[in-house]
Chain A
Amino acid sequence: QQQVKQSPQSLIVQKGGISIINCAYENTAFDYFPWYQQFPGKGPALLIAIRPDVSEKKEGRFTISFNKSAKQFSLHIMDSQPGDSATYFCAASPDSNYQLIWGAGTKLIIKP
C-alpha cells in the first residue's frame, strides 16, 4: 500500500514529441504528488506538484494529469527537447507526513 509504481523504466522520444510517464498508487491517504527531475551527477529538483482536488496542473511544457478514481497520475512533456533528457521521479505522500514515497524513476532520452 505504500508503493508508487512508475512506468516506463526508460523512454526514448523524438525532439518535438510528447513524453508521457505514468505512476500508480494504492494508498488512498496520499494527497500530495510531486515530480522531480534529475540530471546525471546531480540531485533531483522539484519540477511540478499536484493535489487531488484538481485533475490537471500545467507549468510551461510540463503537465500533471491526475485520475483520483484510478489512483493514477502522469507527467506529460509537450514539445520535448534534448535538454529535457533526464531521469524523472514521481512521488506521493499523505499531506503533512514527513516522508515521500518515491517511484523507481524513468530515464528519458530526447533524440534530436
Chain B
Amino acid sequence: DGGITQSPKYLFRKEGQNVTLSCEQNLNHDAMYWYRQDPGQGLRLIYYSQIVNDFQKGDIAEGYSVSREKKESFPLTVTSAQKNPTAFYLCASSARGYSNQPQHFGDGTRLSIL
C-alpha cells in the first residue's frame, strides 16, 4: 500500500537534546511538508521541499532543521533551540509542490518533554 510512514509514534526529549523525526513516502511524490499541530490551532508549516536537495522554511522554522537527500525521505530534527517542542508533528506529501494538489498525511509523531 502506498502512503506516508512516520516514526516513532511517540517521542520524548530531554533538555538540551536534539531529536529526529522520520518521514518516508512511497507515493513517488515530489513535494514533502512538515507541520506542527497544537491543540485548538490549525496546522502550521515548519518546512517544505518541492524537490530533492532543496527545501524552504515555512512560518515556524526556528529551532527546526530538515534534509531532503532522497525523494522518499524528509526527516525533521527538533533542536535544543526549540524551546516549546511539545506538539503533534505531521508529515505530508503531494505529487507536485503546489497547494492545489491533495496533501497525503502520515499518522504523526507526538513529541513530549521529559
How far, in Å, is A33 (CB) from chain B's closest CB? 10
The residue of chain B having its C-beta at the shortest distance from the C-beta of A46 within the complex is B102
Query: A112 contacts which chain B residues (CB < 8 A)?
Result: none
How far, in Å, is B66 (CB) from chain A's closest CB? 15
User: Is B99 touching A42 in the complex (CB atoms < 8 A)?
Assistant: no
Query: B45 contacts which chain A residues (CB < 8 A)?
Result: 99-100
Contact-residue bracket for chain A: 20 to 34
Given A43-B90, A45-B105: A96 touches B40 (CB 8 Å cut-off): no
Q: How many A-B residue pairs have CB under 8 A?
A: 68
Beta-carbon contacts under 8 Å, A86-112 to B: 89, 91, 93-100, 102-105
Query: A34 contacts which chain B residues (CB < 8 A)?
Result: 102
Q: Determine whether B2 belongs to the interface, using a CB cutoff of 8 Å to chain A.
A: no
User: Is B107 touching A96 in the complex (CB atoms < 8 A)?
Assistant: no
CA gap between A49 and B99 in the complex, in Å? 12
Q: Which residues of B are at the interface with A, using a C-beta cutoff of 8 A?
A: 4, 31, 40-45, 48, 50, 56, 58, 90-92, 97-100, 102-108
- What are the 5 tightest A-B residue pairs by CB atom distance, in nearest-first order? A43-B105, A102-B42, A93-B99, A46-B102, A32-B100
